[in-house]
A and B are shown apart, each in its own frame.
Chain A
Amino acid sequence: MKKLFLLTLAVCLVACWWITGSPVIAQAKTVKIGAIYPLTGGAAAAGRELKAGAELSAKIANNMMPGLDMDMAKNAGIKSLGGAKIKLIFKDHQANPTLGADLAKKLILDDKVDGMLGCYHSSVTKTVSAVCEQYGVPMINGTSTSPALTTRGFKWFWRTTPHDKWFTKDLFELLKGLTQGKVKGVKAVPEKEISNLASACEKTEWGSHVSSIIKSLAKEYGFNLRKSLLYTAKAPDLSSEVRSLKAARPDVMLFASYTSDAILLVKTLKAQKAKPKIIWGQDAGFEKPEFRSTLRDSIVGILTRTVFLPKVAQIKKVAGQVNALYKGKTGNDLGGASARAFTGVQTWVHILEKAGSTKPADIQRAANAIRIPGDQLVVPWAGIQFTPSGDELGQNVLGSGLIGQYQMVDGKLVLEIIYPFDVATADMIFPFKWF
């Protein structure tokens, strides 16, 4: 009887060990990542892109996809975590920093997420990252570009995207290149022809930072910034702002706008027959599918900075593969927002793989030591490596930007790469054909 009891006990113990420790059960584990994006409101178009990009990345991470040339697609789930799946929990911040902070608390305390992703609007990223910092929850930011975000000394915040100082510098390098004859298809332009600038930026954290960077870089590169104004992205009418810009008679007009205001700005510029030689948008609204579909051929010649263009697929195989999947899912090509959201989730996967644990301290160590090679990414960067110390704590130092120009090719509106000069895919249209 005693032997039977001991045997039963042993069987039970083995069964318990098998149940709790077996790979079958470990595979059922999920890693929860909270993703806070603007899913409604003025930036809802961007929110949809971000969500689709992040979802596609999670899908690739959770399933084996042998046709894709990236490590993430070779395993079904996080290998070092026994095949744990990535589960994204989406929340809508409506571009409201207060709401963003509340949602971050909900995700951390109620949903018990292992990490955070988001938030597109730099102002919201600021409040959400402050909550994460207080609770010691790791946050990867893939799409907010205000330089101030990585100067706060936060230890639980990492940013994959390059920030606006780099992007705006690219613009001034392009302008300088124009005067030196470096731009494909354009003879050297006399300096005085493009020396006068005017800028209009939306006035939250992101736009106001872009505005001040434009001011300082204009001075550094010797350009004359005749007008610099801030406007509210929710404004129903921007005619007085455009009149003010026109009155400055600039050669180059620079904008930092979200989707609805970018569309409104270009419509108003067209209505008022503005005649700049160059129009440049700091990504965001200027790159959204809605911007293209609403304004159609009137945007031919407009420049936008970005981190991803479908043309990247020509120089990067993996980008083409992922773009095909994304297009099949949404009907649109990957854009700057979706490609960076994709990369944000991908960075999470690599960090978790390296950490082999979901403990915040292990994730922190892994994030500070991670190096993702450029050939793994859809974006044309040299890779992802975060600064573990210094003034820009948690900033990816291997990122870079592109400047694209809307051009009509075979009756289709496409974004051609204009900068960097060595990867330009088409001749630049200069000057901008007036509306």
Chain B
Amino acid sequence: MEALSSALDFSDFPRLDMIIAGVLGGLLVIFPATPHSAFAMATMIQFLMFSLYGMGWNTIGGYGGQVDLGKAQYVGIGAFTTAVLMVRWDVPFWVSMPIGVCFAVIWSFIIGYPLFRLKGHYFAIATIATSLVLKDIFEVWDFVGAACGIEISPIKYNPPDFLHLIFKEDIYYYYVILGFFFLGILYVNWFRKSRLGFQLRSIKDNEEVAKSLGINVHWAKIKTYAIATSFVSVVGSFHACYIKNIEPEDTMSLDISILIALMAMLGGAGSLWGPIIGAGVLIPLKSYLKEWLGARAGLIGIDLIVYGAIIMLVSAVEPRGIWGIVEKVRRRKRN
């Protein structure tokens, strides 16, 4: 009960922030009722998915300062668990998703234990390596479809199938992922004020001091890594039902890991709203630049250049991301 009230308590944020967040949250809820294109709906679903990925990354990468570039392996574990259980044994999404989370958490403990002996760049490189190794294993593992992956056949189910999360219209997927999105915000809001959250921030500031205060640094990192993993695995399971065809090269690619970290970093690592802002800027930017410049204007490839330039510009102006810029402006106003 105490945890719930802590999760619902946003009183440490300025009133303006809460008004803006409330309005935007309301807009998200009513978005499907407004006139919109299918492309906008797909973009919104991608935004919510990457916000959740980013929220997960933010717990260990933002609050804990451990740059993890291997999150795609957990997307894969979640996605493949759901797909395999559904295709082979017709297990509903709501059962396969928590099983996927369990597998992902177990794997995070197995690799987290040795990995958190490493620090800084070494840790980042090691996370990339483990992710790529797991992807290679999946690519030769026939049980999970090897390199061809697994297809959840759309003709096997009668949509809307809420048990297996098979829908024809994206509006259903939208509300499912929106539900996870709000739960994710509440969880991270609780997490940042929890004992583990404070421990992690002290580890980020100075690991030696944290140790001297009696914090079990290694265990705190492993626990948070498992939390981050759970977020990513849940969205991975959702991704399997949404796309209906998953293969390691696509689902577990290094691009996904980098994109997850990029969203959170560009939005503002270590803040509650950072990953959401990052996803809210980068996902629509990517989609619409492609549509406007790539498809309509016929400037194929230019969208990628503009996209890259914007990322570089934000990074150069404020390395702490968009949320860092907001805080800087606020500080200036106060002074």
Q: Give residues in A with beta carbon < 8 Å to B.
A: 39-40, 44, 90-92, 96-98, 101-102, 105-106, 108-110, 123, 126-127, 130, 133-135, 146, 148, 152-155, 203-205, 207-209, 230, 232
Q: Shortest Cβ distance from B68 into chain A, in angstroms?
A: 22
Question: Which residues does chain B contribute within 8 Å of A106, judged by CB atoms?
Answer: 37-39, 42
Q: Give residues in B with beta carbon < 8 Å to A.
A: 37-39, 41-43, 46, 139-140, 146-149, 151, 153-155, 159, 168, 170, 239, 243-245, 247-250, 287, 290, 294-295, 300-301, 304
Given known contacts A134-B168, A208-B146, A127 and B245 CB-to-CB distance under 8 angstroms: yes
Report Cα–Cα, A230/B138, bound state, in Å: 12
Question: Which residues does chain A contribute within 8 Å of B300, judged by CB atoms?
Answer: 39-40, 44, 92
User: Is A205 within 8 A of B247, CB to CB?
Assistant: yes
Given contacts A106-B42, A108-B38, 9 further A-B pairs with CB under 8 A are: A40-B301, A97-B245, A105-B39, A109-B37, A133-B155, A204-B247, A205-B148, A205-B247, A232-B249
User: Is A127 within 8 A of B243, CB to CB?
Assistant: yes
Given known contacts A92-B295, A134-B168, A230-B139, A209 and B154 CB-to-CB distance under 8 angstroms: no
Q: Shortest Cβ distance from B266 into chain A, in angstroms?
A: 20
Q: What are 24 contact pairs spanning A and B, CB under 8 A?
A: A44-B300, A92-B290, A92-B295, A92-B300, A98-B250, A102-B39, A105-B38, A110-B37, A130-B153, A130-B154, A130-B244, A130-B245, A133-B154, A133-B155, A135-B168, A148-B148, A152-B155, A154-B155, A204-B147, A205-B148, A205-B247, A208-B139, A230-B140, A230-B147
User: Is B154 within 8 A of A134, CB to CB?
Assistant: yes
Q: Shortest Cβ distance from A330 into chain B, in angstroms?
A: 15
Question: Which residues does chain B contribute within 8 Å of A90, judged by CB atoms?
Answer: 295
Report Cα–Cα, A154/B287, bound state, in Å: 29
Complex: chain B residue closest to A148, CB-CB: B148
Contact of B147 among A92, A126, A208 (CB under 8 A): A208
User: Is A208 within 8 A of B148, CB to CB?
Assistant: yes
Q: Shortest Cβ distance from A50 into chain B, in angstroms?
A: 13
Complex: chain A residue closest to B139, CB-CB: A203
Complex: chain A residue closest to B38, CB-CB: A109
Complex: chain B residue closest to A154, CB-CB: B155
Q: Shortest Cβ distance from B43 into chain A, in angstroms?
A: 8
Report Cα–Cα, A149/B139, bound state, in Å: 19
Q: Shortest Cβ distance from A205 into chain B, in angstroms?
A: 5
Question: Which residues does chain B contribute within 8 Å of A153, judged by CB atoms?
Answer: 153, 155
Report Cα–Cα, A207/B38, bound state, in Å: 32
Q: Shortest Cβ distance from A128 into chain B, in angstroms?
A: 10
Q: Shortest Cβ distance from B47 into chain A, in angstroms?
A: 12
Report Cα–Cα, A326/B146, bound state, in Å: 39
Report Cα–Cα, A155/B155, bound state, in Å: 10
Q: Shortest Cβ distance from B76 into chain A, in angstroms?
A: 13
Question: Which residues does chain A contribute within 8 Å of B247, judged by CB atoms?
Answer: 97, 123, 204-205
User: Is A126 within 8 A of B154, CB to CB?
Assistant: no
Question: Which residues does chain B contribute within 8 Å of A39, judged by CB atoms?
Answer: 294, 300
Question: Which residues does chain B contribute within 8 Å of A130, judged by CB atoms?
Answer: 151, 153-154, 244-245
User: Is A205 within 8 A of B154, CB to CB?
Assistant: no
Report Cα–Cα, A92/B292, bound state, in Å: 12
Question: Which residues does chain B contribute within 8 Å of A133, judged by CB atoms?
Answer: 154-155
